[in-house]
């Protein structure tokens, strides 16, 4: 698909909407590449490409083989893969990350960021999370982790070369110094971190020093970015990375959320990737306008092809945006058993269970409609919106034609509604609708409507549920909503699934 360069006075933030947290970015020539956290989902660490920093296209997943990403049975939501750093050095791409559920800190390399990526180089001597990589003028490789501590490593073997040492850890008394990134810019080494926790207190601070290990002088204007204590529509701003454009300008990618509804505000899409300009004053970065429609970069914007609205499951392999909690044998999720259909073989019998067979895509719009034609065959399953194993809504179809809406909120699981339909394939439907004008402090951010679509096109809404219960503020954790198909018993098939954004 080709794209035509366009110009404009503004662009739309977030540049990667939906569950795309902890962005890390690098530029190679005229091309930008970005990677995000994936937590309990497989394949892991989505990788994106852009020519303008605004429009991104997913080109693959760095960890798309079981030998790269071990997610043990029972891996809970918000476990798995945390905070990658993506860099280009000496003709290769380097990606370092932490698998908190099995493997610790891991390093991968590739000549093409679309893959294939190498098997992991294990950094068994490097402790902590959120690892960063930087090379000095002598070629020494420095790994800096949350905390903040630093050690020199051999990136080819994963061995440490010396003892780790504590370096600058941000503002005194600020909790959770994390997400360190180290840069050589001009005459200084800059150490940028996140602090304050990844909730409403999140912030970005920076220090500079003469060497990769400091000593570091904090910026007098720290934090250089935070929206805490404000009513700004973008909150939880932090976990940032810097990149320089080909014209010499500087830019920051960072995570943030868009809470909605009443108090305290609920974000349901997860932590998203935003873009902000950066200027330099007296040797310190100054973050420019971070808004939902900020001024555009000073170069033509080239929209990347977007993920298709509809997948007819005609290809032999699944598109890279499809993800599953944990890792399943290939035969449990396949498009080859029944050509032109996605076949799902049941594992655990419920979305409450960690080994359920579920395949979904990130919800990227506050208002959207997802439909799928499901053939229950001899089993049961359906369409679900999932935040985690304890917070999800589903519309489920059985071979008998019975349709059920099931809600799981914390320790409560209930069948909300039932309907008897004609046995056989049926279109299942989930629609989310944002609350345009919150009614009081306890109003939810959106409504989730679950139902079916009859052969004549008429809609049958079975339940309208409050979306706040599928939010991070209720459920906790680090992920966002994922909408997709699941098998509860035996085998089900899906002929197609389409995702239609309704945000105005």
Identify whether 437 is preceded by a cis peptide bond (ω within 30 of 0). no
| Nearest-angstrom CA–CA distance, 36 and 272 | 10
Q: What letter would DSSP give residue 157?
A: T
Quickly count: other Cβ atoms within 10 Å of residue 425's Cβ.
16
Non-local (6+) Cβ contacts of 251 within 8 A are: 53, 242, 243, 244, 245, 275, 276, 277, 278, 297
To which residue do tokens 């007296």 refer? 282
Q: 270, 480 in Cβ contact below 8 A? A: yes
Bridge partners (DSSP) listed for residue 256 = 272
Reading the block at residue 110, the tokens are: 């590739």
| Nearest-angstrom CA–CA distance, 207 and 222 | 9
In terms of Cα–Cα distance, which of 302, 322, 304 is closest to 313?
322
The answer to whether 495 is a known catalytic residue is no
| Nearest-angstrom CA–CA distance, 335 and 337 | 6
Burial zone of 100 (CB within 10 Å; 0-12 exposed, 13-18 middle, 19+ buried): middle
The answer to whether 217 is a known catalytic residue is no
Instruction: Kindly name the residue from 132, 178, 377, 388 that is annotated as catalytic.
Output: 178
Side-chain-side CA neighbours of 361 within 13 Å: the count stands at 24
Instruction: Kindly name the residue from 22, 132, 241, 466 that is annotated as catalytic.
Output: 22
In terms of Cα–Cα distance, which of 265, 203, 263, 201 is closest to 233?
265
Reading the block at residue 249, the tokens are: 């300008």
Q: 208, 172 in Cβ contact below 8 A? A: no
Q: 271, 36 in Cβ contact below 8 A? A: no
To which residue do tokens 């990769």 refer? 212
Non-local (6+) Cβ contacts of 391 within 8 A are: 408, 409, 410, 469, 470, 474, 475
| Nearest-angstrom CA–CA distance, 462 and 484 | 18
Q: 225, 290 in Cβ contact below 8 A? A: yes
Residues with catalytic function: 22, 178
């Amino acid at each position: 698909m080709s794209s035509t360069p366009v110009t404009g006075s503004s662009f739309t933030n977030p540049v990667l909407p939906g569950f795309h947290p902890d962005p890390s970015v690098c530029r190679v020539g005229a091309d930008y590449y970005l990677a995000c956290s994936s937590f309990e989902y497989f394949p892991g660490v989505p990788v994106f490409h852009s020519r303008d920093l605004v429009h991104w296209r997913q080109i693959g997943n760095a960890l798309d083989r079981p030998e790269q990403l071990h997610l043990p049975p029972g891996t809970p939501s918000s476990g798995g893969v945390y905070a990658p750093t993506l860099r280009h050095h000496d003709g290769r791409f380097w990606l370092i990350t932490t698998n908190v559920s099995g493997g610790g800190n891991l390093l991968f390399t590739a000549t093409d960021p679309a893959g294939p990526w190498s098997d992991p180089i294990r950094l068994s001597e490097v402790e902590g999370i959120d690892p960063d990589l930087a090379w000095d003028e002598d070629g020494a490789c420095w790994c800096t982790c949350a905390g903040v501590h630093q050690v020199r490593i051999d990136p080819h073997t994963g061995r440490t070369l010396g003892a780790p040492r504590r370096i600058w850890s941000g503002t005194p008394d600020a909790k959770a110094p994390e997400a360190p990134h180290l840069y050589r810019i001009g005459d200084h080494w800059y150490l940028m971190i996140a602090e304050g926790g990844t909730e409403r207190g999140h912030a970005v601070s920076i220090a500079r020093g003469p060497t990769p290990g400091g000593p570091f002088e904090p910026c007098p204007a720290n934090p250089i970015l935070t929206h805490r204590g404000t009513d700004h529509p973008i909150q939880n701003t932090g976990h940032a990375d810097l990149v320089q454009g080909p014209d010499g300008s500087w830019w920051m990618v960072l995570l943030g959320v868009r809470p909605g509804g009443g108090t305290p505000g609920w974000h349901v899409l997860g932590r998203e990737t935003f873009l902000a300009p950066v200027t330099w004053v007296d040797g310190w970065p100054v973050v420019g306008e971070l808004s939902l429609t900020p001024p555009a970069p000073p170069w033509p914007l080239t929209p990347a092809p977007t993920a298709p609205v509809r997948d007819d499951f005609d290809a032999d392999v699944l598109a890279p945006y499809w993800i599953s909690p944990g890792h399943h044998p290939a035969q449990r999720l396949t498009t080859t058993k029944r050509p032109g259909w996605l076949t799902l073989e049941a594992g655990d019998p419920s979305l409450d269970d960690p080994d359920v067979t579920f395949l979904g895509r990130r919800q990227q719009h506050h208002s959207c409609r997802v439909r799928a034609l499901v053939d229950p065959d001899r089993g049961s399953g359906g369409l679900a919106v999932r935040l985690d194993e304890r917070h999800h809504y589903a519309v489920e179809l059985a071979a008998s034609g019975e349709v059920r809406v099931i809600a799981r909120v914390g320790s409560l699981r209930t069948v909300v509604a039932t309907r008897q339909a004609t046995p056989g394939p049926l279109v299942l439907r989930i629609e989310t609708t944002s609350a345009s004008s919150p009614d009081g402090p306890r109003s939810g951010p959106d409504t989730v409507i679950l139902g079916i679509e009859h052969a004549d096109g008429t809609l049958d809404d079975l339940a309208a549920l409050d979306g706040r219960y599928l939010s991070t503020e209720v459920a906790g954790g680090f992920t966002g909503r994922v909408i997709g198909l699941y098998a509860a018993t035996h085998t089900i098939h899906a002929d197609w699934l389409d995702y239609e954004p309704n945000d105005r």
